[in-house]
Chain A
Amino acid sequence: MKADKRFTLYRIGISVGIALLIGYIIVFIASFPSTDIAFMKKMKEAFDSANEAYKYFLTGALIRWRITGAAFNQSGFIQWINEAVPIIITGLAVSMVFTAKQFNIGAEGQMFLGAAVATAVAIYFPGIPFVSTVFVIITAMAVGAGFASIPGFMKAKLKASELVTSLMLNYVAFFMGLFIIKTFLRDTEAGSLVSLEFQQQAMLPLLNERYRWHIGIFFALGMTVLVWFIMKKTTWGYKVKLIGDNMKFAEYSGINSSKMIFQVQVAAGAVAGSAGIIELLGYHGRFLWLYSPGYGWDGIIIATLARNNPLFVPLAALFLSYIRVGAKIMGRYTNIAPEIVAILQAVIILLVTAEAFLAKWKQRSINKEATQNEINAMPVQVGDTK
């Protein structure tokens, strides 16, 4: 139904709008001066501060505000694109498992452990341009796939909740990954806990040297096309969708649902596995995470925003990345902590997935369409919706 799809877009737009509004209100309150001046003056100051903060928040990623005028913020732009890369990839991974209605939320752990193990390859594998890079990424994907096979197996064969097992494994992956870095790959001369540097030839080529804009975005977009093709154009993707829609029906049609449940989680694990190492290969040049960066959780948000459609994942990811960079820039120029983005994220998710949100409006527009069809000669569906 066309009204359906149009409506979903409206709902996303309104949800984002409300989230931004709530964010504004919070910034306003945080900017409320505590000095001893008249109330109206306080209000004005707060408004000014809030507007200033929001200016950085909404445009900071692209525009550098100088006293002499506005200029293109090249570093902000590059940061925006770079930071979208890992979450596009985890978003794709999550969209795959969510399509199958499997709540495997292990993308975080798969990504972290994949990156940790691939770090070893990036450090020690003989430095051959392109070949090293490919090998590093493949290692990360294999680790992600292997790790995801645990909840996959437990769900497929033992019917154990993949939600709980994948969650537990996130913590295990985190500790395992840290252990590997700390014990085998640590750079003892560095101040903090980081790995040795990667081989130069393994690193991703750069589009911009100064700000380290790496080609990871092309990898992410390429992955997008690949996942889209697999999910929408292949028999495997068709099976995945059927499993998620009605598993009993899929089995009845002759599909081995256990096998599919396992396979989709492993495949998604492979995708998620590459999300972390790409950033390290592009930007950092070594493993440096002390705590889990949260890309897996972002992936869940993005997959949800994108309604599990691989083609919309990059859009959702770029949106999230944009407001995050904006928030960091806002944090630099004001005293508003960037964590405010988490609040916005929560609001957006809650509203976007709320089926009943604005339902009455949707109902009215569909009613109009229905009565229109009544008038037309075409036979219309009448009767109980059994």
Chain B
Amino acid sequence: MNEMLQGILSWDFIAAGIRVTTPILLAALGALIAESAGTPNIALEGIMLISAFIGVIVSGFTGSLWLAIIFGVIVGTLMAAILAYFALKLKTDIILAAIALNIFASGGTIFFLAMLTGDKGSSASVNSLLIPNVTIPIIDKIPILGEILSGHHSITYVAIVLIFVVQYLMYKTPLGLRIRAVGENPDAAESVGISVVKTRFIALMLSGFLASLGGLFLSMGYVSWFARDMTAGRGWIALAAQALGGLNAFGVAAGSFLFGFTEAASYSLQIFDIPYEFTQSLPFIITIIVLGIYAWRKVKASGKLNVSNSSVGPTEK
């Protein structure tokens, strides 16, 4: 027991937690923007996977880190744009369209991986690059604080900054106001000449952009390879984090950290003979329990037990 506690409260654990949280946080912020616009994006899992793949392929074949990042982000945003096109212009149900995209991502990345590298399992044969960590000068010299604040991955720093950026965007800028209006009452927005479709398009593309950063982190952050289905459910956990945090970036960040640290704990606990499967499913179980509690409290607060008044769940068209 003592050993377990020591394991959890060590610096290694906190660093691991932050590492695991980063992609979840990015995707969750994306989920927030999409949800605010009334167009929930459940294709984050697939977008992350595709961006992870693109990053590895581009950096492997061009040798350029920046090109990999740029292409990774462009393709991720493009995927979200395709989702938006089908859901907003061609009127596909946005959940089904997202499922289609996830299927495309899962199979398509393997297909193109095989086509380009001859290997279907992973990109081991490709010499892809690593996005570096960042050491903040001066701060890293401060005892204790320096170790905590400096030395994290560059994308992690970006993610933290993005928490504030997203909150500012949503609540202080015209675009944020419009996104919220479109999500809450699209007719109202339309009536003042705001293009609901255009606004939702932007919201979805922003969510794709954020998710793609998360994907790049997965395949180029601490490891430099792509493997089939390497996102392993993070896109879904991000949705759960957003469901918990609501439409507030800080709430969503809190949810993301909670899940990130839970998953990191599942790695640490492996050393102590707790079955791998149990620890791996722990984040998902915790998510369900927390969601259940959250929903239960909402029900108690509203005082109504009519299921038809449910507001938690996929937004209807």
Contact = CB atoms under 8 A, between A and B. Distances in A.
Partners in one complex: yes
A267 interface: no
Interface stretch (A68-76, A172-180, A230-238): A172-180
Contacts of B107: 339-343, 345-346
A154 B292 contact: yes
Nearest to B239: A164
Interface centre among A160, A163, A357 (most CB of B within 10 A): A160
Interface stretch (A44-52, A276-284, A311-319, A347-355): A347-355
A30 to B, nearest CB: 5
A228 interface: no
Interface stretch (B53-61, B91-99, B143-151, B211-219): B91-99
Contact of B277 (A162, A178, A247, A359): A178
Given A300-B99, A349-B96, A160 B295 contact: yes
B192 interface: no
Contacts of A351: 90
A161 B240 CA distance: 10
B280 interface: yes
B310 to A, nearest CB: 4
B63 interface: no
Given A159-B307, A168-B288, A345-B100, A354 B86 contact: yes
Contacts of A345: 100, 103-104, 107
B171 to A, nearest CB: 25
B132 interface: no
Nearest to A357: B90
Contacts of B91: 354-357, 359
A175 B100 CA distance: 25
Given A261-B307, A342-B104, A160 B92 contact: no
**Interface class of chain B by DSSP:** helix
B157 interface: no
A258 interface: yes
B114 interface: yes
B284 A171 contact: yes
Contact of B292 (A158, A297, A355): A158
A163 B36 CA distance: 18
A262 to B, nearest CB: 10
Interface in A318-348: 337, 339-343, 345-347
Contacts of B99: 105, 297, 300-301, 349
Nearest to A346: B104
Contact of B92 (A172, A342, A353): A353
Interface string A261-275: 100000000000000
A171 B281 contact: yes
Contacts of A374: none
B299 A159 contact: yes
B313 A163 contact: yes
A292 to B, nearest CB: 10
Interface string B105-122: 011101100110000100
A301 B285 CA distance: 27
A200 interface: no
A43 B312 CA distance: 54
A165 interface: yes
B298 A159 contact: yes
Contact of A356 (B89, B100, B298): B89
A339 to B, nearest CB: 4
Interface in A111-127: none
A241 interface: no
A168 B280 contact: no
Contact of B96 (A304, A339, A340): A304
Contacts of B97: 349-350, 353
Nearest to B237: A168
Given A163-B314, A164-B243, A350-B92, A171 B308 contact: no
Contact of B111 (A161, A340, A354): A340
B231 interface: no
Contacts of B275: 179, 183
A169 interface: yes
B272 interface: no
Given A159-B310, A163-B314, A167-B236, A355 B90 contact: yes
A87 B97 CA distance: 20
B101 interface: yes
Interface in A77-106: 103, 105
B86 to A, nearest CB: 5
A375 to B, nearest CB: 31
Given A163-B313, A345-B103, A156 B114 contact: no
Contact of A160 (B239, B281, B312): B312
A251 interface: yes
A161 B90 contact: no
A348 B96 CA distance: 11
A250 B90 CA distance: 30
Contact of B312 (A26, A103, A161): A161
A133 interface: no
A353 B288 contact: no
A355 B299 CA distance: 35
Nearest to A172: B281
Contacts of B2: none
A199 interface: no
A160 B292 contact: yes
Nearest to B97: A350
Contacts of A355: 90-92
Interface string B284-307: 110110011011101100000111
**10 nearest A-B residue pairs (beta carbon):** A342-B107, A346-B104, A354-B90, A161-B313, A160-B295, A175-B277, A355-B91, A247-B308, A349-B100, A179-B277
Given A150-B288, A342-B103, A350-B86, 8 more contacts: A26-B111, A103-B314, A159-B299, A159-B307, A172-B285, A175-B280, A182-B277, A247-B308
Interface of A: 26, 30, 103, 105, 150, 154-165, 167-169, 171-172, 175-176, 178-179, 182-183, 247-248, 250-251, 257-258, 261, 297, 300-301, 304, 337, 339-343, 345-347, 349-351, 353-357, 359
17 contacts: A26-B111, A154-B295, A158-B292, A159-B309, A159-B310, A160-B312, A175-B280, A247-B308, A337-B111, A337-B114, A339-B108, A339-B111, A340-B111, A343-B107, A346-B101, A347-B104, A349-B100
